[in-house]
Amino acid sequence: MIAAPCSRCYFSIGLAFALSAIATIVFGPQQQGVQIPSWLLAAYRSRLQISGYRVFLVVSGAVTAAALAYLFDYTLFGARIRAAVDNRVAAEGIGIKVDRLFVTTFAIGTALAGVGGALSIEMLGSIRPSRSNTSRCF
């Protein structure tokens, strides 16, 4: 039995609410502090003053970009994604499970977005849904 698209949406929203409630029960409703290691708080001085955390973010971004470029250009996974994007019907015809492939690609993207959000905490400061604090970014 195939579920209607609307029921899938309701299930996804309900699952998000349930996971949010479970996280509140396990970790509590208060924000949890994040301690940055001391070696990331050091400042490097040359012509520009750059914190160690910003250097860490740049290096992390470069490593992630290189890993993604390798993943999509030189692996079977990347070849399958390219094939499915170019011609979905042909990709399904040769046995590629396109739906599963797209879900996996979406999961990788959301995981990277979550990691990016977690790494931005030091630069953005306290993040609350009720207010926006972007003054520390610039």
pLDDT single digits (tens) 53-85 = 888 899 999 999 999 999 999 999 999 999 999
* The overall pTM is greater than 0.75: no
Residues of the chain with pLDDT under 70: 1-5, 125-138
Confidence (pLDDT) at 129: 57
Confidence (pLDDT) at 138: 45
CB neighbour list of residue 41: distance below 8 Å, 6 or more residues apart? 51, 52, 53
Asked whether 102 and 91 are in contact (CB, 8 A), the reply is: no
Quote the CA–CA distance of 11 and 20 in Å, as a whole number.
14
Asked whether 71 and 81 are in contact (CB, 8 A), the reply is: no
User: Residue 30, Cα to own-chain centre: how many angstroms?
Assistant: 23
Please compute, for residue 75, the number of CA atoms within 13 A of its CA located in the half-sphere on the CB side.
9
Quote the CA–CA distance of 52 and 133 in Å, as a whole number.
22
Confidence (pLDDT) at 42: 74
